[in-house]
Chains A and B, each alone.
Chain A
């Protein structure tokens, strides 16, 4: 089988760390040139360095996905540097405070929606015209199992991830007949640097969250990256508008 994304160009938001970084590396491993977009420049340059050390091609673009000019700029940068854009992984996201609805602050909700929802929409808004001009492409947006189930807390995050599934379905239907496939990935609880850092401050959380997973095993960023890579490959040619669960059965219960 030929390399799945040979000579292709992929854009990954939130590419500086965690699932985004693992996916950027996975795309590069398949031969794609990768634009690593993130607000975090240090992590972004590090990811680019890792890809280049492995003989791949990558470019870091600093971008706040909640800002239209930045989202426009990252797509432009991809095309300017690598000539095209075949794959976009709109993955950048933030978590809102772990509080109940009455304690949620307006600023927190606004920022969560701006990054997680508007950021995904802006990513699609600028990537899709480029893909249409080329005759097709594949987009994956990062939702979460929290877009499907509630843990009775952190409503802003849950609703934002639910909205990602909705945005994805609408866009998938709009462009299905024009060669742009758009899907969502719904990771379970993953051992990301963000979570690991949180567990350092709240060690009990690492044990408690594990109880939410029937199989008692956290996922790795690489396991999500594999699913994203498959969804973006030609193997998934009939997969459109799907919310793919990668949660080892956490939401099956």
Chain B
């Protein structure tokens, strides 16, 4: 059993195979939680689990497409079966935008963005919350974005999906806060994730242009976003509920 503030606790992280989700898995484990690493990308999850184990923690891989109810239900079941309980859920899996105008969006892309980013978060909560209620409480953090509080051209489906995550978060916070489950969101700014790095490798100028508009002159690191998500799950955030914590180096303050 790990030491730390989450000793004896169990965390579930979707999108745990890379980026912010991987960082959060490591931070949960560092503070003593056992971690279910869920992702559609099993090799990424396996690597995350290996990293957790290397640092002396406990974790296991759950294959899940968060837009499928059966997968999400199974993911929660697998977590409880393996570790006996579920205290924290970080519903973080998501996909980015295609960079096309509202008119150019295809129905397929729009549906897929909403399915993963919105329905995926809802399904996560749908199956996590009953387990937490049974245990008497828990904490959930959903990943929104700075695009959840402000718009950006050529990202219609993504912006809509991340706004919706904040709405879902607030409703659940009001519904279950009294029953011991706090529900919050993190709103990351542009972060150095593998997904963004792949995108920037193809468009280096895009990366330069984006950096120029960051008040701090740099992008966020996955650890910096994960630190906020993990803190929100901790008892130290006992009066924080229904909040979208913006972790963006000041981007939306502009």
Contact = CB atoms under 8 A, between A and B. Distances in A.
A226 interface: yes
A188 B253 contact: no
Contacts of A188: 239
A249 B174 contact: yes
A223 B250 contact: no
B49 interface: no
B177 A248 contact: yes
Contacts of A216: 178
Given A248-B240, A249-B241, A252-B241, A173 B224 contact: no
Contact of B247 (A220, A227, A238): A238
A240 interface: yes
Contacts of B216: 176-177, 238, 240
Contacts of B253: 169, 172-173, 240-242
Contacts of B249: 176, 238, 240
A214 B253 CA distance: 28
A245 interface: yes
B231 A248 contact: no
A241 B215 contact: yes
Given A238-B189, A239-B247, A241-B250, A248 B239 contact: yes
A251 to B, nearest CB: 8
Contacts of A227: 236-237, 239-240
Given A214-B174, A249-B174, 9 more contacts: A173-B215, A177-B216, A227-B240, A235-B231, A240-B253, A247-B241, A247-B243, A249-B173, A249-B241
Interface of A: 169, 172-173, 176-177, 188, 214-216, 219-220, 223-224, 226-227, 230, 235-242, 244-249, 251-253
